[in-house]
Structure 1
């Protein structure tokens, strides 16, 4: 094996026609849906969800590619809960590609591009010890629990000009 080669990640805004790609990412992540106690979404569910993106102007969703392969999905909301905040509702890396630093790189990319945001919240569903450990390692701290299956984490950002 040679040195570590870092393949660049490409973030492409998700559109309704990306439903099959996002569905593949979900299909390759059965553990996540089992953990949150949900069935894996059908292609129709995914298409429906992506169609709602155009109606919510605060919501942003990106497919994450490594070379030509969709390896993850990033879904967040700007100006939520407060004007200077953003909330990450899903950062999912396909299970066969986890543990390679892709989630950390995706989060770093997001933080770099959140101009004017002072706080980034992350919502963790279910008893997801791995997600909690991930967010704590990335500088988030627990804020509150929003019911038995939901907890909120926050990281202060330096709001740039």
Structure 2
């Protein structure tokens, strides 16, 4: 069932680690696809602490109907001043396919359109589902950076 919804973007703080960790735990297929280990709560806490030191990096919890349903990590002015790059869009596995990821990307595009010309998205691992997702949203495959990283691009203006 597709969700027709607006998501609330709540900034991630170091206090958000438990919620972010829970989202990762509810996405075991993603972790398997990228070939890594499930991050521990301490891993998440360290990662969120690094956010404070990079003023271009933004991370938000995605809320729908007062419930955290996802996590979005992106960087503005990267790889150039007129672009932004989504490095992770994580939607709780059992909620995937309901339009939440699409809503998150469309809202981010609307937020960035006035100040960025391009939006990149990166796909880690052999994640064919993610590649199709970005293509359905109008992103074009730009290049592969080795066997485990694919770049997608969409013009915002």
Please report the TM-score for the alignment, with normalisation by the length of structure 1. Answer: 0.93
Q: Alpha-carbon deviation of 1:59?
A: 0.1
**In structure 1, how many angstroms separate the alpha carbons of the residues matched to 2:3 and 2:103?**
14
Q: Which has the larger radius of gyration?
A: 1
Q: What is residue 130 of structure 2 aligned with on the other side? A: 131
Q: Are 1:86 and 1:119, in contact at CA under 8 Å, matched by a contact in 2? A: yes
Aligned-pair Cα RMSD in Å:
1.2
Q: Which residue of 2 aligns with 1:149?
A: 148
List per-residue Cα deviations over 1:82-127 (Å, max 9, x = no partner). 1101000001100011010000000000000003100100000011
User: Which aligned segments of 4 or more residues in structure 1 are displaced greater than 4 angstroms?
Assistant: none
Larger relative contact order (C-alpha < 8 A, sep ≥ 6)? 2
Match of 1:56 in 2: 54
Which 5+ residue runs of structure 1 have no aligned equivalent? Answer: none
Shift of 1:70: 0.9
Contact 2:75 2:85 in 1 (8 A): yes
Alignment gaps of 5+ in structure 2: none
Normalised TM-score (structure 2) = 0.95
